[in-house]
Each structure stands twice: as C-alpha cells, then as structure tokens.
Structure 1
Amino acid sequence: MKRFHYLLILLMLAFSGSLAFGQGNSQNARNKGRQKAKEAKENVEQTADSLREQSEEAEKEFERNRNNGNKKDKARKEMKEGMEKGKEASEKARGNAFGKDKQGMSGREFGQQRAREAREQNRKMLDESIKKGKDKSEEARERIRDAEQRTEEAYEAGEISEEEYENRKEKIEKAREKVEELEQEVEEANEEKMREEEEAAREAEKEAREAAQEADETASEAEEAAREATQEAEEAAREAEED
C-alpha cells in the first residue's frame, strides 16, 4: 500500500510537472504571438505613416508648384498690364487715344481746327472784298476826275449851259459820295480783317498755352502710369522668385 501511495505521488508529481511544462510552453507561444502581432501592427502603422507623409509631401509639392505657377502667371499678367498702361499713356501723350480722335485729333482739337478754317475762309473773303472795293474805288475816282475835267472844258468852251454845267457837277458830286461810301466800306472791311487777324493770333496763343499745359499733364500722367506699371511688375517678379 505504501508503495502504491508512493507511486501515486510520483505519478502526480510527474503529471504536475508535465502540466506545468505544457502550460509554460503555451504561455511562451502566446507571448511570441503577441510580440509578432505587435511587430506586425507597428510595421503596418509605420508603413501607413510613411505613405501618409509621402502623400502629404506630394500634396505640398503640388501646391507649391501650383502657387509658383499662379504667381508667375500673375507676374506675367501684371507685367503685361503694365506694358498696356504704358502704351495707353504713350498714345494719350501723343493725342491719339482710340475712340476720341478725328483724323488723329481729339474732339477739342478738331473743333479748334474747324474754327481756324472758318476764320481763314472769312479772311479770304474779306481780302477779296477789300481788293475789289479798292479797285472799283480807284476806277470810279479816275472816271470822276475825267468827268470833272470834261465838264469844265465844255463849260469854258461854251458847249454847255450853266444849268447843264450845274447838273453835271451835281451828278459828279453824288458819284463822289458813292465812291466815298465804298471806300468807307473798304476801310471797315480792312479793320475787320485786322481784328480777325488779332483775334486769330490771340486764339492761337491761347491754344498753344492750353496744348502745352495739356501736354505737360499728359506727360506727367504717362510717367506716373509707367512708374506704377514698372513697380507692379517688379513686385510680382520678386514674389515669384521668392516662392
């Protein structure tokens, strides 16, 4: 019996040792499994992080390229706009702004030219009237002198009566009055011509002053526009280079 108990105890000890050994092996297996799962999880997370970082970097690079492209486009656009502004200012300085000119002139310049042409036409008409008036006046006075001479000679020679003599002298005097009226009209026309010339000279001087002032203002505007356009283009170019 004692031997049986001894064998039973040995068997139980052996079974316990075997169980403990089995449990130890099972625990080791579980630990290794957990370690491998942890490592796999870490590998997955590292891979995901790497992919996420690569994606974010690619997105940033895309944004940088797009921004650079936009800024370069903006710089080119602003430079183009600056050139257009300079061109418009230059055209304005020359008085050739499209849509405002008539035959290369502004509306005011066109009106001034029409006024000058009207004055010139009036001056020519006055010149012709004055010349014709002087010619007729000289011709009439010559005929009056001739009539007076013939009348005196006829009266002295007894060829005409005193009544006829007086009648002729009266007609000659009326003719002289007509000539004097004509000469007065010629004088008035000549004075009008002089006034027209003086007015034209004053108008020309006024136009010259206005044109000079307008040219100065336009030149200042053109210079300012060109300076602003250049500054905008330079700023846009610097922004593009910095990016």
Structure 2
Amino acid sequence: MAFDLTRRLAAEAMGTGILVATVVGSGIMADRLSDDVAVSLLGNTAPTGAILVVLISILGPISGAHFNPAVTMVFAAKREIEAPAAALYVLAQVVGGIAGTLIAHAMFDLPLFQISETVRTGTGQWIAEAVATFGLVLTILAGLRFRGDAIPWLVGLYITAAYWFTASTSFANPAVAVSRAFSNTFAGIRPTDVPAFIVAEVTGALIATAVVGWMLADKNTSASLASVKEIE
C-alpha cells in the first residue's frame, strides 16, 4: 500500500470509531425521539448505511477500510495483508470501536462507562449473524472483482438492508459487537452474548470466502481451459 502501517492503523481505528459512534449515537437519538421501536430502528439504520459510504470512500485508499476483524481475517486468509499487520488491524479496530462508544455516550451526556443488559442470544440470532456476515463478505469480494468503484455504496446499501432482514439487526462485525457491549442503550448487547456472535460472524465470513473463491475460480478455470483449447 502507498501508506505506511502507522497511518493505516490510524485509519482503521478512526474509521471503526466513527462507525461505532454513529451506530450507538444514532440509536440513542432514535430512541429519544420515538417510542416506536420500528421508527427507532429506522433512525438507527439510515445513518449507519450512510456513514459506511462516507468512511469507505475517504479511508479506503489509506487502509482498505476494513473496520471489521472478520473482513481483515478474510484478506489475511487471501494473503492480501500479512498476519502481523492483520493482528494490529484487529487491535486498532477494537480499540477504535470502544472509543467510538465512549464518544457517543459523551455526546449525549450519558455515563461514559456502561455494561449492556440487552439480551441478544438464541439460535435465530446466531444464524442471523452468520448470514449477515456471509452477505457482507460476499458483497465485498464480489464487488471488488466486478465493481470496485462501487464498493462504498454496495457495502452501505447491504448493511442498510441487513438491519431489516436479519433477526440480529446485522452486527456482522466482531469489533462492533465488542464495542456495543459497553453501551447499555438501544444498540447494546449483553457481554455474555458477544462470544457467540463473534463465532457466528467468523463462520459466516469463512463460508462466504470459500463460496466466492469457488465461484470466481470456476469462472477463471473455464476461461483458461477455453484459451488452451484455442491455442491447441
């Protein structure tokens, strides 16, 4: 990459922090403005999708705009980022995300340090997180292959949709799950529920990587075989 690791880590921490501040902050605002849960969720959804478009557009050229340990894991598995750098990316994302939670609390004059009591557990929730992360990684990998210029919009729109079609409201991000455990607000998740969410997210990401790898490799292999036959 054109930027050194220090700047890339700063971009990852900043981007994840702003993302989490948006998720938690918009959740607090939406909850204050409406007693209707559906309206509050909509008020939480739109800012999240919008900020992803912005963050990926402005920070993507610096760090790749992962903002998500599951995404970093996928690129490490594809050997597009070295393992030591990937580990530092994950650390930056988690630290940045927790900072984003604290900043959201400060903006709304809430206690900075909180522990969520919101229960998010059960088979449906875990399946939802696996599906949400599968779709996110699918969107990123296929998007990079076919519409790299549209990645910010593709990811923003996917997360906007996934808020509503998944039972878990699509965390799809281990760093976000950890960060939201420190907020006893609309966006929170009970700490004891976080590990299962992370397992589901990693599982979904790995399945998506395998599926996309198979789909794209199959196309490349077919094209290569056709070229060989033409030469013969």
Bucket of the pairwise TM-score, normalised by the shorter protein: under 0.3
- Higher RCO, 1 vs 2 (CA within 8 Å, ≥6 residues apart): 1
TM-score (norm 1): 0.25
- TM-score normalised to structure 2 length: 0.26
Q: Which has the higher helix share?
A: 1
Q: Which has the greater radius of gyration?
A: 1
